[in-house]
A and B are shown apart, each in its own frame.
Chain A
Amino acid sequence: MDIFKPLALSTLIAAPLFLIGCSSDDNHVSRVSYQIEVTNLTAAQPMSPLAVALHSGSYAMWQIGTSASSGLEQLAEGGDNTALLAEASSAHAVTMTGNGLILPGTSDSIIINTNMKSDLALSFATMLVNTNDGFTGLSGDKLSNLALGETRSTELLALDAGTEANSESVVTIPGPAAGGEGYNVDRDDRDTVGGHPGVVTSADGLATSALGEEHRFDNPVARVTITRLK
């Protein structure tokens, strides 16, 4: 987690130097600040509290076609961001958790600060809680091309952690549609992260599904707006 006191201090010291365009002084590392606002665009898929990380190019929260980390599995199956944030922290990321569940049609917004570096990137993840292991987010979105005061919006795709088969059964979905189990250690799907195929639901022939027609979704499932504040 970032600490506020040193931020305020370094801002005060660095501010005069910014005005004359000096940023190479080793004693005054530039601080940057981003507002991250995530809007849930689905009909009836609450999204779990955000796991947000600012990091360098050496860390990846996930990659398409690669096995999910244990932290990502825990977020995608159960909505718990604790382990994923711990993984990012141990990879020297600055991390933050969101303010809570993001209900359909609503947004969550956080402000996160760190030291400027040339390969700075944003990653975040949130679970679609009425799924087995569906989530959305960004992995390694480069921030170096976002100028001070600039805003960028990106529409987000539904992703599948690939760690749990999409049975949609009442015992396997943790969201309010089912109230079943969240994370378990088993990996009984293809074990690589990829695009989510959507949910079938009991309304469309999967009799064992705990989900109704309202739980279906299409891409994009969310929108993120990133603004560089400092």
Chain B
Amino acid sequence: MRKLLSGFAVTGALLSAPAMAQDLTISITNLTHGTYFTPLLVAAHANGNHLFQTGVAASAHLQAMAEGGDITGLSADMTAINADKIENPAGGLLAPGATTTLNLINAAGNDQLSFTAMLLPTNDGFVGVDALSIPTAAGTYTYRVNGYDAGTEANDEIINGAGAPGNPGIPADPGGASGTGGTGVTSTEANTLVHIHRGVLGDSDPTGGASDLDSSVHRWLNPVAELTITVN
């Protein structure tokens, strides 16, 4: 994740104390060309907690989110640690180019922000931020957000409706640009820890080839999202 900080906000950052609740306006924009975000989970939590971590094996709840878009497990995890959270702010899928905006009041001590959503259509790709320190000074802060691979499923790029953890395949392409008849890009996952997603391969054969994805539609470059936090 790369940061673009507004100059005025930077200079103010050392001047105010974070020891009280904050009123945050948070926007998340899907920067991809043809990849949807499944329902988002956005949480402010205490230091030491995570929805995911790179270089660490995905939890079962993260796997369920990354393979099928199911945030119920991760959301329960956040409840258990008294996080302040917003589920599904976009009211369903966040389409390419679309922005969702939410308001989050975070209690004192819940001074780190995490969010996740599955990248659809992928096997186990997701967009997210892991434990970002929430700025304390009033102002608007913009961050570039990367795509990750949960490392729990081979990226075969076959659309077969499978979204349950452990079942190979991609649930669906909401944009309707996918093909059929792919033979499978791979059947193995070399890195079983959470890592930066290498992107999808796709192909230009709508009824065959290795992939059911379209290489001209479903690929992406990082960042896959832009996150804006306004500290009110």
Contacts and interface: CB of A to CB of B under 8 A. Distances in A.
Across the A-B interface, give the 5 residue pairs with the lowest CB-CB distance, nearest first: A195-B31, A197-B33, A65-B97, A194-B97, A145-B7
Chain A interface size, as a band, is 20 to 34
Given A64-B97, A205-B204, A206-B204, A197 B2 contact: no
Contact of A206 (B2, B7, B216): B216
B222 A65 contact: no
B116 interface: no
A207 to B, nearest CB: 7
Contacts of A200: 202, 204, 215-216, 219
Contacts of B8: 145
25 contacts: A64-B31, A64-B99, A65-B99, A142-B6, A146-B7, A158-B221, A160-B33, A165-B216, A166-B33, A192-B96, A192-B97, A194-B32, A195-B32, A196-B33, A197-B33, A197-B219, A198-B219, A198-B220, A198-B221, A200-B215, A205-B215, A207-B204, A208-B204, A219-B221, A219-B223
Given A152-B7, A195-B33, 20 more contacts: A65-B29, A65-B99, A145-B8, A146-B7, A157-B144, A167-B216, A168-B216, A190-B33, A192-B97, A195-B32, A195-B221, A196-B33, A197-B32, A197-B216, A197-B220, A204-B215, A206-B204, A206-B215, A206-B216, A208-B204
Contacts of B218: 197
A166 B216 CA distance: 6
Interface string B1-39: 010101110000000000000000000011111100000
Interface string A182-205: 000000001011111110100011
B119 to A, nearest CB: 13
Nearest to B199: A198
Given A160-B33, A162-B97, A197 B222 contact: no
Given A194-B32, A197-B32, A157 B219 contact: no
Interface string B194-219: 00000000111000000000011111
B44 interface: no
A87 interface: no
A50 to B, nearest CB: 20
Contacts of A142: 6
A70 interface: no
Nearest to B11: A145
Most buried by B among A158, A195, A208: A195
Interface string B74-94: 000000000000000000000
Interface in B87-116: 96-99
